[in-house]
Amino acid sequence: MPEGIVPELLIVLALLVIITAVAVVALRQRRGEADVEAPPVEELQAPPAEVVEEAEAPAVTVERAAPSLRDRLSKSRRFLADRLADAFGRGVDDATWEDLEDILIQADVGVEMAQRIVTDVKEAARSRNVTSAEELKGLLSDELVSLFAEEDRGLREVPGEVTVWLVVGVNGTGKTTTIGKLAADASRREKSVALAAADTFRAAADEQLGVWADLSGATIVKHQPGADPGAVAFDALQHAKARSIDLLIVDTAGRLHTKTPLMDELSKVRRVLEKESDVHEALLVIDATAGQNGLNQAREFAQAAGVTGVVLTKLDGTAKGGIALAIENTLGIPIKLLGVGESEDDLQPFDPKAYVDALLT
């Protein structure tokens, strides 16, 4: 081997080693990058719809957040807060009790009920030597809660058969709106719902009910305007039974100027339903803004339809939240639900303690 060739061979060998090393490093790097980029198998297979649903879930929750009762009763609370602060803030004397009676009457609890409350609170304040405004408010709160009966205020539902709820009340009190809210609630609980448009008196009544039916995915059973409401109720019940629907809610007319026929009509609707099923709830809707007038009208409905519970609506629009006490005590029917606005979430179960707290604190 000639001498000059040895260093050249060494150089070629060194170059070969360097090229091989560079190639190995490059290959490793590329593999590493490929590892990072390759999406995991599950990600590839996950359907895009699910991801979208997950991403949107919080927005839906926010939209459906139930309004706080306290917010919705703010008109009544403000009305009471100012006046009670005046009455209780000057030390206790005869004027305190006269003022309290006036305030309660203005809040629509009714004259007799107001007198009874004053007598009881006055007695409690004396015997416990209570004089501070805060403690007096506490006594008033306890007294108001105690005047609501201890009742089961849930709505009766029967699994395995069609639950039937009949809804009655004066025109404009909020029957159809309440039915819409109830249907929306039931469908959120995954119950199937049918609505009977048995208010055949008002031409637009079934359209309004239809809008709520669409919103909740309920089916609606209706006839021509002016049709016999009993016949609508009958057909709706047949429909609900044939399709094993969980809940049938029957809307009714509420016009007052032809009062006697209306009450007969409601009794008939009830009788028709009862031939084929129990009526598990007959809910009387009362507009809180109608005050004591609403109460007088309610009495007749209570008799005609065998009412099992009251829905007190439009509490968001009145300062006279005391009407709840007057209703329970004069009608002797439990308030089961509160309407606190016009949207589907604005229906709340009635809880006396929560209600009184929302009014007073």
Q: Are 319 and 79 a contacting pair, CB within 8 Å? A: yes
Residue 341 corresponds to which amino acid? G
Size of the site for ligand GDP (CB under 6 A): 19
Whichever of 210 and 317 has its CB closer to ligand GDP, that residue is 317
Task: Show contacts with ligand GDP in window 249-268 (CB under 6 A).
Answer: 254
Q: How far is the CB of 174 from ligand GDP (least distance, A)?
A: 3
Whichever of 75 and 153 has its CB closer to ligand GDP, that residue is 75
Judged by CB under 6 A, the residue of 171, 192, 267, 329 near ligand GDP is 171
Query: How far apart are the C-alpha atoms of 50 and 76, rounded to whole Å?
Result: 45
Q: Across the strands, what pairs with 248?
A: 164, 194
Instruction: Decide if residue 176 touches ligand GDP (CB under 6 A).
Output: yes
Instruction: Decide if residue 178 touches Mg ion (CB under 5 A).
Output: no
Tell me the residue nearest to ligand GDP as measured from the CB.
Answer: 339
Whichever of 331 and 340 has its CB closer to ligand GDP, that residue is 340
Whichever of 88 and 169 has its CB closer to ligand GDP, that residue is 169
For β-strands 347-349 and 281-287, DSSP reports them as unpaired
Q: Are 310 and 287 a contacting pair, CB within 8 Å? A: no
Q: Considering CB distances under 5 to 8 angstroms, the limit depending on partner class, which of ligand GDP, Mg ion, none binds residue 320?
A: none
Instruction: Decide if residue 316 touches ligand GDP (CB under 6 A).
Output: yes
Q: Write b or e for each residue in 187-210: b if 16 or more Cβ atoms lie within 10 A of its Cβ, otherwise e.
A: beeebbbbbbbbbbbeeebbebbb
Closest CA to 201 of 255, 266, 251: 255
Q: Considering CB distances under 5 to 8 angstroms, the limit depending on partner class, which of ligand GDP, Mg ion, none binds residue 342?
A: ligand GDP
Cα 68 from chain centroid? Answer: 10
Q: Are 86 and 136 a contacting pair, CB within 8 Å? A: no
108's tokens: 């629509």
Instruction: Decide if residue 200 touches ligand GDP (CB under 6 A).
Output: no
Instruction: Decide if residue 294 touches ligand GDP (CB under 6 A).
Output: no
Q: How far is the CB of 262 from Mg ion (least distance, A)?
A: 13
Span from 73-81, 168-176, 264-272, 324-332 in contact with ligand GDP (CB under 6 A): 168-176
Judged by CB under 6 A, the residue of 104, 341, 344, 360 near ligand GDP is 341
Give ∠ CA 62-67-71 in degrees, rounded to 5: 135
Judged by CB under 5 A, the residue of 76, 176, 308, 313 near Mg ion is 176
Instruction: Decide if residue 169 touches ligand GDP (CB under 6 A).
Output: yes
332's tokens: 């002797």
Residue 182 corresponds to which amino acid? L
Judged by CB under 6 A, the residue of 102, 161, 276, 342 near ligand GDP is 342
Instruction: Decide if residue 346 touches ligand GDP (CB under 6 A).
Output: yes
Our CA dihedral for 37, 38, 40, 44, rounded to 10 degrees, sits at: 100
Question: Which SS3 state, helix, strand or coil, does residue 69 take?
Answer: helix
Length of the chain: 361
Judged by CB under 6 A, the residue of 313, 321, 323, 326 near ligand GDP is 313
Whichever of 73 and 285 has its CB closer to Mg ion, that residue is 285
Q: Are 198 and 233 a contacting pair, CB within 8 Å? A: yes
Contact residues for Mg ion, defined by CB under 5 A: 175-176
Contact residues for ligand GDP, defined by CB under 6 A: 169, 171-177, 254, 285, 313-314, 316-317, 339-342, 346
